[in-house]
Amino acid sequence: MGQQLVRTAGAFAWMLFAAASVHGQDISLATNASGITIAGSKPSWSTGFGTVNGLGLGTPGANITVMTTTGGVLYTSPYNIVITGASSGNRAVVRAYVSANFSHPSILKIYSCVSSCTSAAGYSAVSTSSSTPTDIIGDPGISTNQTVTRSLAVFVSNANGASAFTGTDAATLTVLVYRGNNNSLQHTYTLALNNPTQTVQTALRFTLGTAPSG
């Protein structure tokens, strides 16, 4: 509470005023009980999917699910968005874009899912443009403090031959928090996919079939 002294007609009067608290919407990223570890704190978090391959063979890392999709596979995992400071006048909207892409973007891509995340059809590639970020929590936004679960994924292409790639790679998402009521940007954070880095390995699959004379 602040105090202001006002002089009036030979007398002194005290005027007391209270500054209204301003609570803007904000988020933190956190590990979901069924997901990969989200490390770090504001303004920078990190995570990663470790060893991957374009056929989805072998055992993925803990709390990672492999889904087959066109041209490759998705390595997926849920994570939490903890919303604070939200209200009807401060709705939280969250968007993201790939601010530092994989060095091999034809092989690796970051995908996101908002709903129906148990199927590959629920995932889509995250935008690589800061001017058209991908909705993570879309309009009209969330007006109450709560924990929202979303799913993150890395698409791994099953490309073969000269276009294939094996080795390590990393990327970074920039996460944007908006006031949904007027679409004004409130906070800018990052989530790096480098902890651990994605390690693309060669994978082989053999198909057995009946020979014409077998």
Tell me the backbone φ, ψ of residue 161, rounded to 5 degrees: 80, -145
Rounded percentage of the chain residues whose pLDDT exceeds 90: 80
Contact 73, 156 (CB under 8 A): yes
CA atoms of 111 and 124, how far apart (whole Å)? 5
136 confidence band (pLDDT: 50, 70, 90)? very high
Alpha helices in 68-212 (DSSP H): none
**Averaged pLDDT score across all residues of the chain:** 89
Q: What is the pLDDT of residues 123-134, one digit of tens each?
A: 999 999 999 999
Res 210 pLDDT > 80: no
Q: What is the pLDDT of residues 177-204, one digit of tens each?
A: 999 999 999 999 999 999 999 999 986 5
Provide Rg for the chain, Cα atoms.
Answer: 24
CA atoms of 159 and 54, how far apart (whole Å)? 7
CATH code of 23-200, in short, is 2.60.40
163 confidence band (pLDDT: 50, 70, 90)? confident
pLDDT of residue 13: 38
More confident of the two residues 2 and 99: 99
